[in-house]
Amino acid sequence: MIRSLFSTRTLTTVAAFAVMFICADMASAQDSGRSLIDLTSYFGVGLVVIGAALGISRLASAAYEGMSRQPEVAGSIQTAMIIAAALIEGFTFYALFICSSK
């Protein structure tokens, strides 16, 4: 537990969020209507793309692992993987449409 808490990946994620929150705090403290960063639709689009990439990569990883363990059912696993990936892509396009509309 302690090793995973202090891993490079965890510390990088924490540092990225810290920088984001510091910049957002500085941006909200300004008096003018212009901010340093815009945490609206562009931030939402970035989260959607990252989420979709993680979802499809984990789906493909699990499917390939299942196919390597049981090659006799590789066809059905591949079909289920393609259907699930299409559903993730569809949701991604819908979320990108919602985030990009103003």
- Domain shared by 26 and 61, yes or no: no
- Domain shared by 52 and 102, yes or no: yes
Structure confidence by residue, pLDDT tens digits, 48-66: 888 888 889 999 999 999 9
Going 73 to 87 to 46 to 30, the CA torsion angle's sign is negative
- Domain shared by 16 and 60, yes or no: no
Domains in the chain: how many in total? 2
pLDDT averaged over the chain?
78
pLDDT of residue 47: 82
- Domain shared by 70 and 88, yes or no: yes
- Domain shared by 59 and 91, yes or no: yes
Structure confidence by residue, pLDDT tens digits, 21-51: 666 555 455 555 555 566 667 777 888 888 8
- Domain shared by 71 and 99, yes or no: yes
CA distances to 12, 28, 51 from 20, rounded to whole Å, are 12, 12, 18
Cβ–Cβ contacts within 10 Å for residue 48, how many?
19
Burial code (b: 16+ CB inside 10 Å, e: under 16) for 49-86 equals eeebeebbeebeeebeebbeeeeeeeeebeeebeebbe
Helix residue ranges per DSSP H, 1-102 = 2-5, 8-28, 41-69, 74-100
- Domain shared by 20 and 56, yes or no: no
Which structural domain, as residue segments, surrounds residue 100?
40-102
Structure confidence by residue, pLDDT tens digits, 54-102: 889 999 999 999 999 999 999 999 999 999 999 999 998 988 888 777 5
Write the CATH number for 60: 1.20.20.10
Question: Using the 8-state DSSP alphabet, how is residue 37 labeled?
Answer: S
- Domain shared by 2 and 48, yes or no: no
Reported pTM? 0.59
pLDDT bin (cut points 50, 70, 90) of residue 2 is low
- Domain shared by 11 and 56, yes or no: no
pLDDT of residue 33: 57
